[in-house]
Chains A and B, each alone.
Chain A
């Protein structure tokens, strides 16, 4: 079964740090780009960061650039998000998502086809 399982969420004080993990199983993790997406309580979805298969291409939303670091370990089938200088507005459910980015017949398609259940991060004093 294709599966993504996030962990590492919790309660942290403003200015603190947290490291999220996402364990992948049931597919060849090293062949897929991966994303982190978050959702604040009662709000919509917000893309956070992306990483390519070999970690050569990494991108961040402006809201987290300079504070968050995405990484992956293909040998361990794992994706990570190091979050520093956390703020109250970072409070969200954080999802990891597979982003195939496949090309066919001259067109390339970008979407997120597998999602984890999410891990909750609460930033509060």
Chain B
């Protein structure tokens, strides 16, 4: 089973700053199987990025994804108030889905 490890666990930043979130896989992952989600408190997750770098419908261009193999990155160029939330990476493989443990982006 592929394990996804996200870092850092918590990122303390101010509105307007740039956020860089990492997702590392225990073995190589197909880029087309890698996605990112944002989850605000008390809400369901929302798809941000699929295929490692494609923005989902309606997602701001402040969000960008990159990476390949075992290392993937989600970048938020300028943090807005609604971006302070928990972010999860997800991969699909061998008919199974796994999520990273999440990175919390909090207001500094």
A residues contacting B by CB (< 8 A) are 35, 37, 44-47, 50, 57, 59, 61, 95, 107-113, 115-118
Question: For the complex, what is the distance from the CA of A59 to the CA of B88, rounded to whole Å?
Answer: 22
- Is B14 in the interface zone, CB < 8 Å from A? no
Whether B47 pairs with A45 at a CB distance below 8 angstroms is no
- Which residues on A sit within 8 Å (CB–CB) of B60? none
A-B contacts, 19 of them at CB < 8 A, read A37-B97, A44-B88, A44-B100, A45-B39, A45-B45, A45-B99, A46-B99, A47-B96, A47-B98, A107-B51, A109-B50, A109-B51, A110-B92, A111-B90, A112-B37, A113-B57, A115-B45, A116-B44, A117-B44
- Which B residues are in CB contact (< 8 Å) with A108? 32
Residue from A35, A45, A61, A107 with most neighbouring chain B CB atoms (10 Å): A45
Which residues of B have CB within 8 Å of A111? 35, 47, 50-51, 56, 90, 92
B96 touches A59 (CB 8 A): yes
Shortest distance between the CB of A37 and any CB in chain B (Å): 8
Q: Which residues of B contact A112 (CB under 8 A)?
A: 35, 37, 45, 47, 90
Which residues of B are in contact with A by a Cβ distance under 8 Å?
32-33, 35, 37, 39, 43-47, 50-51, 54, 56-57, 88, 90, 92, 95-102
How far does the Cβ of B59 sit from chain A's closest Cβ, in whole Å? 11
Q: Which of chain B's residues has its CB closest to A95's CB? A: B44
A27–B106 Cα distance when bound, in Å, is 35
Query: Is B97 a contact of A44 with CB atoms below 8 Å?
Result: no
A residues less than 8 Å from B46 (CB atoms): 115
Residues of chain A lying within 8 A (CB to CB) of residue B35: 110-112
Q: Complex Cα distance A68/B100, Å?
A: 23
B residues near A107, Cβ cutoff 8 Å? 32, 51
Contact B97 A50 (CB under 8 A): yes
On whether the beta carbons of A44 and B101 are closer than 8 Å, the reply is: yes
Tell whether A35 pairs with B51 under 8 Å between CB atoms, given A110-B33, A115-B44.
Answer: no
Chain B: minimal CB distance from A33 (Å): 11
Contact B97 A47, beta carbon cutoff 8 Å: yes
Chain A residues with CB under 8 Å of B95's CB are 50, 57, 59
CA A108 to CA B92, docked complex, whole Å: 11
